[in-house]
């Protein structure tokens, strides 16, 4: 998502500044059924309208289903990946950094966050705020107290798989088990 992270007051889930594509796969090809946006303008359906429709028409519950019982949680861990390295996609690195800072503010230990980013925008010649990265021009500097564990250009998809699986042959990995709360963020 790009820009301010504002969520709908009613559903607390729909980002208010993006467009979604509702698609299905037929014979190995994607087919778009509809486009959704927060307000339903520009030939889209409102995400709030879609949310309300799903609540009324699609939601079913088994009243006899037992609650899931989880064991005690010990740690919070995360993997955050910014998948862009070109200036035109500045927002992706900014959003990944915003997620990193949000997790840190909510008590995640920096040693338990694997952060993957090309890390080439804070001092990019086009950056108006040298040494800073922001989601909004008037927003906070997100480029502080961050450790980039891997540069995007230095790892492969196979490496990412091993990092996610906790392969100790890599210097920083997702070292989680069933007692840990894990968040994966890919932007």
Cβ distance 14 to 8 under 8 Å? yes
Cβ distance 77 to 166 under 8 Å? no
What φ, ψ does residue 181 adopt, rounded to 5°? -90, 125
DSSP state letter for 88: G
pLDDT digits (tens, 9 = 90+) for 164-186: 999 999 999 999 999 999 999 99
Say how far apart CA 65 and CA 91 lie, in whole Å: 42
**Counts for the chain of helices (H) and strands (E), in that order:** 3, 6
Looking at the predicted structure, is the pLDDT value of residue 26 above 70? yes
Say how far apart CA 174 and CA 187 lie, in whole Å: 18
Looking at the predicted structure, is the pLDDT value of residue 1 above 50? no
Per-residue pLDDT band for 2 (boundaries 50, 70, 90) equals very low
Q: Which of 96, 102, 142, 150 is nearest to 122 (CA)?
A: 142
Say how far apart CA 155 and CA 173 lie, in whole Å: 13
Element (H, E) at 165: helix 157-165
Average pLDDT over the chain reads 85
Question: If you write DSSP's letter for every residue of 7-18 in order, what string do you get?
Answer: B-TTTS-SBSS-
Say how far apart CA 84 and CA 119 lie, in whole Å: 10
pLDDT digits (tens, 9 = 90+) for 138-164: 899 999 999 999 999 999 999 999 999
> Could you give all domains of the chain from N- to C-terminal order, each with its CATH number?
1-60 (no CATH), 75-186 (3.40.50.1460)
What φ, ψ does residue 7 adopt, rounded to 5°? -115, 155
pLDDT digits (tens, 9 = 90+) for 43-78: 666 666 666 666 666 767 788 888 888 889 999 999
């Amino acid at each position: 998502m790009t820009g301010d992270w504002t969520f709908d007051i009613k559903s607390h889930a729909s980002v208010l500044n993006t467009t979604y594509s509702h698609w299905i796969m037929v014979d190995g090809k994607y087919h778009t059924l509809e486009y959704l946006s927060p307000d339903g303008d520009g030939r889209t359906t409102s995400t709030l309208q879609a949310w309300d429709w799903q609540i009324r028409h699609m939601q079913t519950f088994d009243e006899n289903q037992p609650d899931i019982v989880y064991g005690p949680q010990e740690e919070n861990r995360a993997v955050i990946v910014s998948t862009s390295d070109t200036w035109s996609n500045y927002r992706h690195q900014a959003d990944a950094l915003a997620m990193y800072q949000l997790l840190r503010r909510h008590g995640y230990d920096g040693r338990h966050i694997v952060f993957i980013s090309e890390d080439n925008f804070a001092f990019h010649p086009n950056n108006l705020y040298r040494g800073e990265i922001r989601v909004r021009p008037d927003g906070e500097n997100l480029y502080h107290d961050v450790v980039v564990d891997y540069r995007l250009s230095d790892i492969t998809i196979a490496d990412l798989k091993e990092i996610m699986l906790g392969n100790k042959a890599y210097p920083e990995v997702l070292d989680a088990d069933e007692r840990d709360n894990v968040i994966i963020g890919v932007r």
